[in-house]
Chains A and B, each alone.
Chain A
Amino acid sequence: MDREQFIRLITRNLEDLRRLLTALCCGDRQLADDLAQDSLLKAYIQSDTLQNEEKFRPWLLRIAYTTFLNNKRAQRILDDYDALCAVAADDEADSAFRYQELYDALNRLGATERTAVALYYLEGYSIKEVASIVSTSPEAVKQHIYRGRQHLRKFLNP
């Protein structure tokens, strides 16, 4: 895959990628953008390994999910993640405040549950597709979505 082809494909998927990462980062848009840049660079470096253009989107999302998890692990080592989420929730503008409740609800979920919920409900992937993106079994994804839904219920029915 050459550079122009890669740019054409990412332009088509950029909005969804940034939206997904914003949801995963509980509204920390700066972190979401940094992770999006990292994910896209990793994708660009590995782009020679992708043969089928139709698989680009799930492939990119899998890279984004791994990048998010790696970042979360690094944050955990620094013991800063929760503080970072709290700061992100507080210091952002009106548009972010609009989704504050949603971010709070997502923040209550674990990383895998949050990813499964976001991919299933936000991106509209099937259970099987979500399973392939997060590299787990469809049964496990069903469990994550079920648990995620339980947590979101409070948000949905205040």
Chain B
Amino acid sequence: MNEEDQKIREMLAGFRPEAVKSEVDFMASLQQKMDTVDTVREFCRAERRRNSRAIIIAAIAGVLTGAGLTFATPYLTALFGEVLGAILPWVIVALGVLAAIFAGYFLTILLSSASDSKQVATAPAGR
């Protein structure tokens, strides 16, 4: 290390600027912001959990409805006659599966949101 380096280091070694806020105030303000981050984090985690639960339930509902309606296609074909019976039962299967998937997804989201808000309302206050 040359002399100039040493000189700069010595000069900066005494650099202790007075802060605007005390460490306690600084940390208090930081902790408040961290609380907000934690709240948002918890919200995102709950959303992810709710979403994946809804996806699983929607998939199960779709598979079950699809299987049920597929087994019912012979009856549907007989019901609609030869011309319409070739296409319409499959349209019904497709629409039924879609309806089951959407209903499964949105109902799960709706019910778990309601149950979460009930839990928040009954949870003890404060951190």
Residues of A within 8 A of B (CB): 3, 7, 10-11, 14-15, 18-19, 22-23, 27, 29-30, 33, 36-37, 40-41, 44-45, 93, 95-96, 99, 102, 117-118, 121-122, 124, 149, 152-153, 156
Contacts and interface: CB of A to CB of B under 8 A. Distances in A.
Contacts of A29: 17-20
A11 B26 contact: no
B82 interface: no
Top 4 nearest A-B pairs (CB, nearest first) are: A95-B18, A29-B20, A122-B12, A22-B17
B9 interface: yes
Contacts of B33: 37, 41
Contacts of B7: 156
Contact of B17 (A19, A36, A149): A19
Contact of B34 (A14, A33, A41, A149): A41
A156 B11 contact: yes
A23 B17 CA distance: 9
Given A121-B12, A122-B12, A156-B4, A96 B27 contact: no
Interface string B15-49: 11111110100110111011001100000000000
B15 A33 contact: no
Q: Which size class do B's interface residues fall under?
A: 20 to 34
A33 B22 CA distance: 11
Chain B at the A interface: mostly helix, strand, loop or mixed? Answer: helix
A152 B38 contact: no
B121 interface: no
| Residue in B17, B20, B23, B31 with the greatest tally of chain A CB atoms within 10 Å | B17
Given A37-B29, A41-B30, A152 B20 contact: no
Contacts of A95: 17-18
B8 interface: yes
A117 B20 CA distance: 24
Contacts of A23: 12, 15
Nearest to B40: A45
A153 B4 contact: yes
Contact of A14 (B16, B18, B26): B26
B22 to A, nearest CB: 11
B15 A99 contact: yes
Contact of A19 (B16, B21, B34): B16
